[in-house]
Amino acid sequence: MPAKNTQMQKSAAQRPKKISANSNTPLITEKELLTTVPSSISYSTISHYDFFNHGKSRIPSKIFHWENFIEMVKNHSIDNVLKKYEKPSIPLSHAPITVKEELTQVIDLQLVRPLTSKLNHDDLELCKLSENLLIDWVVVNDNDQILASVASRTHRVLRTKNDDDIIKAHQQNIGDFADNVNEVYDYMCELGLKYSVLTTYEFTWFLKRSENDPSVLLISNCQKNDSNDPTILQTWNYLFHLSKKESLLTPWPTILPSVNTEYFADYPYARYSPSVENFPESSTVIYRKRQFSVEEDDYEIKNSRRREDFSEGSSSSSYATVFRSYDIIDWNNIIVKNEIGGDGFVHLVEYNGEQLVLKSAEGSDWRKIDLEKEVRMYKRLSAVQGVHIPRMKYSGFTLRNERYILATEVIEQTSTLCQRHKEEALRAIKAIHSLGVIHNDIRESNFIVGKTIDENDNEERLFIINFQSSKDFKEEQRVQLTSYHIYMEKEKEKVEELFNQLPN
């Protein structure tokens, strides 16, 4: 994470002073302060989405319910005698929220400011971050030490329902829940934090890293902003109380292999755990008397999956990370079997005893531009190759620069596309969306139900093909993606509409 202590902390001398007993400011008890129920909010009907920044991050090894957290809050005593806290002035209504900046303003007014007086008495402060799009506030003590973090998301970014089971929501990434939790967890690892808050204001989850095993994450059940017992202010206050009372964990440094990770897939909705142990310390290969190292684009980090990890409800998150080399193909050794599509652009071929689907174009052919784009899409979608899309076997110019090619594995059709494949198609398109790509060409001919010809992989499933019209939003707009979710929702609707028209 880019945020460092020096960027986000104020010195203790600059902190607001505690309210004195002789002050003219109205004072209230701790109970009066924390039992205040903040007002409700509404969202604008304007279709605007803030950002989509699900990048590479450390993910927890296991997720568990933080079962007793709310009961712990209820049992935490709060004073109802001493009047030493500043009475907050909380606006009762707000304009409909359109963007995240407006949401953080509401959270600041409704939650952060009321807690300020209480936290100052505990020698704590909630500091707003200005240069971090993932974390919005941090809890800082008088020693300028960060103890906890708060991340806010609009309900258009974090679309998880308040009654969703958190384990299932994380496993299936319902409403981008896993993506956002993993981003917060990654930040906690960076600074050794034990506690954090993820909130849409209306719904809030409280996160705790296990002291015995910091790779294990506990998540509370969702708490609504209008809760009375306990209130949301009580819960935030108790979490910050824990962060002050308990020691920090050892920061977990980022360990990445020395390779080009431009197209390292972030994580599909069926999530995976990248492993660094499979990266070789050094690896080279000789092609055309030129040496290519693992730092160059001729190598692709390919995430091969264990098939059971994509089964419904699977709790496993183990994936092997291996190198996949896209070799240079010798045009003279290609044996053309059949033409596919009738335009002379796509063929079923055999190369070195392996059957392939081959697209090719001369260097001056306008279709070469489409092929180059499709190759980039396949690289971006490397994590779902062999799962929801065919595996890419070869790409780039042939050995003697005769043609530019894209070769993928053959999918042998085993069933006719019908309505019963709709949910599988939606899962596949959702996995593609999760990697920042919109397919952009939803039609029946771009879906195949079949098996690969790999004798070790004979499972029938639905594949999506043809990505020359696709949009790579992570390439075009890395952070501020105001239109990404609009495209995403429209494409899901197109998939549903297509499959609803198919026979049962």
* pLDDT at 495 (0 to 100): 95
Output the pTM of the full model: 0.52
Task: Please state, in angstroms and rounded to a whole number, the distance separating the CA atoms of residues 361 and 368.
Answer: 5
Looking at residue 298, its pLDDT comes to 29
Burial (CB count within 10 angstroms: exposed 0-12, middle 13-18, buried 19+), residue 236: buried
Bridge partners for 64 per DSSP = 218
Lowest mean pLDDT across 309-313, 342-346, 430-434, 465-469: 309-313
The overall average pLDDT reported for the chain is 76
pLDDT range class, residue 348, cuts 50, 70, 90: very high
Non-local (6+) Cβ contacts of 283 within 8 A are: 293, 294, 299, 323
Mean predicted confidence (pLDDT) in 290-317 = 30
Distance CA 248, CA 196 (A): 12
**Tell me: the pLDDT tens digits for 129-149?**
865 568 899 999 988 899 999
pLDDT, tens only, 443-468: 999 999 999 887 667 789 999 999 98
Q: 422-434 and 484-500 are packed helices; what angle lies between their axes, rounded to 10 degrees?
A: 160
Yes or no: say if 63 and 172 are a contact pair by the CB < 8 Å rule: no
Q: Is the dihedral of CA 174, 178, 181, 187 positive or negative?
A: negative
H or E stretch covering 85 = strand 83-86
Sign of CA dihedral 402, 408, 409, 415: negative
Q: Are 78 and 499 in contact (CB under 8 A)?
A: no
pLDDT for the residue numbered 92: 66
What does the pLDDT look like over 150-190, one tens digit per residue?
999 888 777 777 788 889 888 888 877 888 898 899 889 88
Q: How far apart are CA 275 and CA 278, in angstroms?
A: 7
For residue range 247-275, list pLDDT tens digits in order: 888 876 543 333 333 322 333 323 222 23
The confidence score (pLDDT) of residue 413 equals: 94
Domains in the chain with CATH codes = 5-245 (no CATH), 291-500 (3.30.200.20)
Q: Which residue has the tokens 């568990």?
A: 64
Token duo for residue 341: 């599509």
pLDDT tens-place string over residues 407-433: 999 999 999 999 999 999 999 998 898
Q: Is the predicted pLDDT of residue 389 greater than 90, yes or no? A: yes
Residue with tokens 């009961």: 71
Which of 370-400 are b and which e, b meaning 16 or more Cβ less than 10 Å from the residue's Cβ?
Answer: bbbebbbbbbbbbbbbbbbbbbbbbbbebee
The more confidently predicted of residues 244 and 275 is: 244
